[in-house]
């Protein structure tokens, strides 16, 4: 999944590492599946920030279309009122709670978006890319998409057809509307995929798209005239734009397309569009074709993640079995939540969530391996050296093995998380190092060495050895705090504070991945304090 580029310069117009999430439908509140992609994007962008790169992270909400309109109607409010309420009361607060550090939040009902969308489609219309025609076919309101016969399942009654994603009956729509000449773009798209083999990831997603485009592409119906909750077509206001065509453009309107050319030059093309596998075709086929038609560059990568599953089905509002992200964070904490899903499920594949698996990983990986290591090391510096970090006297083989282990972990984590979006693999590499540090302490037995350091029979040699072990442990934790900062920012900050690192090294956010493996950065004499327990014992599982 590699695609490297130099984003390290900071001058005006230097390219930024720009990552987007899908913009979410606000017909309902966010669930674990939405949070999964948003946390992944947050970790990816925090990782690149930690490299010292210029970064831009975009998320937002998709507010037009029939689905939102019907939900608002069913709740007796206008669509705009409904969207405003959901965005302010549900979506933004959840992202804040999960410590999502997005740089912008786009809502498709904002004028900064709708004005640019109108200009964009007018341009395509003027270029002859859009024409008027008629269409009839099965439509799924849940997907906001006309379906092909191969996309449908048989329903319970004779002739009834169901959407394969939503398992709900499709509706038959017949409309006169405007079409985008998507069919003209098949060969150009195939050429583009061939020239850019990393454009669609993972490989399974790429193959699916290739197979789809290799068949004949049909022109795309891009307007609706049977309802009005959407962006009016500037040349025919009886029609509103198909919600997907409006939605996809969020990636450029938020980046300054048509309003701020300098910023747009810095941000576009996007580095990574993160998408769920169900919306891959929109991002890897329709969106690139629209950009080609407009003469704009294409995003560098579209990366599809799998679904979080419950009982073998895609997790959705209706089959969530009542679990909201905050039910999990109130039990496990926000940082463990951010960690768990990325660690437990290889990005790109479907994965099941279970309370038991989360508890087991929390206890063994976070509380025992990592949290205990941090508190034991700090406690020993407190007990034996009054909380003042001693200098390492002479490093031997055991210390060298740790330095090598750290260098290996940094290289692997940087490549896997920063380039390959293999979060599980990157975290495994970091935790391999944490395990190695634990092994080092177990083998070195500082509590025994302490007996040769102080009191009767205490020696300079004993004190020197003890100092070496504890400096080595603290220095390893210094590096671990930096590596885990993008994933668990609050925990990493607590660790940074407990190591007294700020006084000598500055803020945790100012540390870079490039220097994290440089041994000996944590200054001798740092004030080490025990601080609070990073991962407290879990309470009993709340009753369902």
Which residues contact ligand MSP by CB under 6 A?
22-25, 33-34, 36-37, 62, 247-248, 250, 275-276, 278-279, 307-308, 314-316
Instruction: Catalytic residue, from 239, 277, 314, 403: name it.
Output: 314
Instruction: Catalytic residue, from 92, 166, 383, 530: name it.
Output: 166
- Of the pair 314, 478, the CB lying nearest ligand MSP is at 314
CA distances in angstroms from 498 to 363, 526, 534, listed in the order given: 21, 10, 10
**Dihedral sign for Cα atoms in the order 10, 13, 19, 25:** positive
> What stretch of H or E contains 176?
strand 171-180
CA distance 51 to 45: 10
Detail the DSSP E strand segments found in 181-286. 200-201, 220-221, 223-224, 232-233, 236-241, 272-276
> Is the previous residue joined to 269 through a cis bond, with omega within 30 degrees of 0?
yes
- Of the pair 140, 492, the CB lying nearest ligand MSP is at 140
Question: Is 83 known to be catalytic?
Answer: no
- Of the pair 145, 365, the CB lying nearest ligand MSP is at 145
Question: Is 317 known to be catalytic?
Answer: yes
Q: Give min distance, CB of 276 to ligand MSP, in A.
A: 2
> What stretch of H or E contains 106?
strand 104-107
> Is the previous residue joined to 98 through a cis bond, with omega within 30 degrees of 0?
no
**271 contacts 5 by C-beta, under 8 angstroms:** yes
- Of the pair 24, 257, the CB lying nearest ligand MSP is at 24
Detail the DSSP E strand segments found in 308-379. 308-310, 313-314, 351-352
Angle at 335 between CA 334 and CA 336, to 5 degrees: 95
Q: Give min distance, CB of 441 to ligand MSP, in A.
A: 39
Beta bridge partners of 17: 55
Instruction: Catalytic residue, from 7, 143, 273, 300: name it.
Output: 143
Per the structure block, which two tokens stand in for 356? 């038991």
By residue count, the chain amounts to: 544
- Of the pair 59, 118, the CB lying nearest ligand MSP is at 59
Burial class (CB in 10 A: 0-12, 13-18, 19+), 295: exposed
Q: Give min distance, CB of 117 to ligand MSP, in A.
A: 12
- Of the pair 165, 334, the CB lying nearest ligand MSP is at 165
Question: Is 143 known to be catalytic?
Answer: yes
- Of the pair 30, 371, the CB lying nearest ligand MSP is at 30
**SS3 of residue 232 by DSSP:** strand
Question: Is 31 known to be catalytic?
Answer: yes
| Count of CA atoms in the C-beta half-sphere (13 A) of 141 | 15
Q: Give min distance, CB of 341 to ligand MSP, in A.
A: 9
Question: How many helices (DSSP H) and strands (DSSP E) are in the chain?
Answer: 22, 19
Q: Give alpha helix (H) positions in 414-498.
A: 423-444, 446-451, 460-484, 489-498
Work out whether strand 55-62 and strand 24-25 pair parallel, antiparallel, or are unpaired.
parallel
Per the structure block, which two tokens stand in for 101? 């550090």
Instruction: Catalytic residue, from 34, 54, 113, 300: name it.
Output: 34
Instruction: Catalytic residue, from 7, 83, 163, 277: name it.
Output: 163
- Of the pair 51, 166, the CB lying nearest ligand MSP is at 166
Question: Is 283 known to be catalytic?
Answer: no
**Dihedral sign for Cα atoms in the order 160, 162, 167, 172:** negative
Question: Is 163 known to be catalytic?
Answer: yes
**49 contacts 55 by C-beta, under 8 angstroms:** yes
Q: Give min distance, CB of 307 to ligand MSP, in A.
A: 4
> What stretch of H or E contains 200?
strand 200-201
Instruction: Catalytic residue, from 238, 317, 448, 541: name it.
Output: 317
Residue nearest to ligand MSP (CB): 276
Q: Give min distance, CB of 316 to ligand MSP, in A.
A: 6
Residue numbers annotated as active site:
31, 34, 140, 143, 163, 166, 314, 317
């Amino acid at each position: 999944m590699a695609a490297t580029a130099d984003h390290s310069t900071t001058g005006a117009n230097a390219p930024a590492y720009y990552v987007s999430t899908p913009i979410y439908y606000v017909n309902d509140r966010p669930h674990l599946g939405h949070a999964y992609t948003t946390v992944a994007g947050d970790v990816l962008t925090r990782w690149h920030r930690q490299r010292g790169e210029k970064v831009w992270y975009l998320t937002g909400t998709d507010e037009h279309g029939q689905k939102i309109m019907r939900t608002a109607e069913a709740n007796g409010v206008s669509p705009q009122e409904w969207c405003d309420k959901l965005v302010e009361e549900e979506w933004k607060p959840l992202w804040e709670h999960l410590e999502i550090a997005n740089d912008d939040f786009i809502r498709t009902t904002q004028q900064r978006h709708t004005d640019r969308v109108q200009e964009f489609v007018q341009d395509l219309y003027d270029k002859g890319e859009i024409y008027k025609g008629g269409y009839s076919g099965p439509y799924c309101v849940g997907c906001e998409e006309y379906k092909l016969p191969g996309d449908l399942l048989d329903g319970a009654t004779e002739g009834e057809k169901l959407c394969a994603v939503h398992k709900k009956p499709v509706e038959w729509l017949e409309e006169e509307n405007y079409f985008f000449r998507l069919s003209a773009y098949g060969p150009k798209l195939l050429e583009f995929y061939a020239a850019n083999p990393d454009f669609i990831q993972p490989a399974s997603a790429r193959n699916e798209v290739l197979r789809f485009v290799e068949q004949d592409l049909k022109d795309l119906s891009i307007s609706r005239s049977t309802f009005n909750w959407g962006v009016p077509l500037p040349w025919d206001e009886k029609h509103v734009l198909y919600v997907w065509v409006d939605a996809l453009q969020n990636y450029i309107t938020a980046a300054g397309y048509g309003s701020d050319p300098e910023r747009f030059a810095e941000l576009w093309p996007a580095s990574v569009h993160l998408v769920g596998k169900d919306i891959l075709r929109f991002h890897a086929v329709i969106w690139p074709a629209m950009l080609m038609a407009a003469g704009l560059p294409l995003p560098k990568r579209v990366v599809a993640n799998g679904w979080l599953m419950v009982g073998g089905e895609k997790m959705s509002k209706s089959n969530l079995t009542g679990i909201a992200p905050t039910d999990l964070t109130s039990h496990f904490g926000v940082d463990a939540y951010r960690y768990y899903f990325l660690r437990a499920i290889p990005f790109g594949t479907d994965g099941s969530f279970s309370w038991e698996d989360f508890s087991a990983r929390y206890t063994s990986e976070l509380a025992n391996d990592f949290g205990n290591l941090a508190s034991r090391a700090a406690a020993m510096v407190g007990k034996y050296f009054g909380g003042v970090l001693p200098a390492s006297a002479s490093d031997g083989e055991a210390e060298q093995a740790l330095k090598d282990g750290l260098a290996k972990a940094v290289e692997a984590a940087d490549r896997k998380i920063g380039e390959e979006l293999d979060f599980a693999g990157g975290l495994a590499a970091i935790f391999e190092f944490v395990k190695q540090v634990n092994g080092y302490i177990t083998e070195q037995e500082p509590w025994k060495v302490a007996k040769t350091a102080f009191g009767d029979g205490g020696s300079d040699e004993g004190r020197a050895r003890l100092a070496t072990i504890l400096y080595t442990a603290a220095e390893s934790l210094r590096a671990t705090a930096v590596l885990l900062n993008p994933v668990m920012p609050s925990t990493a900050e607590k660790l940074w504070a407990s190591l007294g690192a700020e006084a000598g090294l500055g803020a945790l956010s100012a540390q870079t991945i490039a220097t994290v493996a440089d041994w000996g950065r944590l200054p001798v004499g740092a004030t080490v304090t025990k601080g609070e327990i990073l991962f407290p014992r879990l309470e009993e599982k709340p009753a369902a």
